[in-house]
Amino acid sequence: MKTIDFSHFIEKYIAGEMGEDEKQWFEKELEGNANLRAEVDLRKKTDLVLKNQNIITLRNKLSVIENNVVKLKLVLPLHHDLFISDMRQHWR
């Protein structure tokens, strides 16, 4: 008896990349195979966790960038004022 490696089909199914005939076949396989249903559910949950982790990572990076911008806004006016002061003293 030949076993089917469903990995490729699971990925296509979750991504919505199956044609109608292939999707109907796969859903019929899902109906009769509890292990396959569990694997599809696990992959969906894993994809969601990874997506959420990417969002968290992006938010953290944006927070660092925002903090750096705030620091620059605080520092740049000080440098500008020092520059103007130096120029005034130079031209006196």
Residue 31 included in any domain: yes
Say what the pLDDT of residue 53 is.
87
Start-to-end CA span in the chain (Å)? 97
Residue 51 included in any domain: yes
pTM for the complete prediction? 0.59
Say what the pLDDT of residue 4 is.
79
Helix, strand, coil distribution of the chain in percent, nearest 5: 85, 0, 15
Domain range enclosing 78: 7-90
Q: pLDDT tens, 35-49?
A: 999 999 999 999 988
Residue 2 included in any domain: no
Q: How many structural domains compose the chain?
A: 1
Q: pLDDT tens, 13-64?
A: 999 999 999 999 999 999 999 999 999 999 999 998 888 888 888 888 888 8
Residue 1 included in any domain: no
Residue 78 included in any domain: yes
Q: How confident is the model at residue 67 (pLDDT cuts 50, 70, 90)?
A: confident
